[in-house]
Amino acid sequence: MGNCIVSVHVTGCHHNQLEYDIDQMAAAFVDDLLRKGHNVTAAYLTTGGEYDLTNRAARFPLKTAGAGA
């Protein structure tokens, strides 16, 4: 157990409000880490702008298959 950095460089679709968009998948990954007790101190998605994935109140809504969205 200790500190680590996860960095993923991706080319793909994002911000189309689809569950397989990179922004959706990245945010869901951060949520999963937090749910499982990890201390996420920073998580950002950078495309044309920078999105703070830890700020759930201000980020885009997630589209999930199970939520009927």
**Domain ranges for the chain:** 22-67
* CB atoms inside a 10 Å sphere around CB 53: 19
- pLDDT tens readout for residues 42-51: 999 888 777 7
The reported pLDDT for the residue numbered 41 is 94
Query: Would the pTM of this model clear 0.95, i.e. be above it?
Result: no
The neighbouring-strand residues paired with 45 are 51
| Sign of torsion over alpha carbons 55, 4, 36, 45 | positive
DSSP line for 26-56: HHHHHHHHHHTT------EEESSSEEETT-T
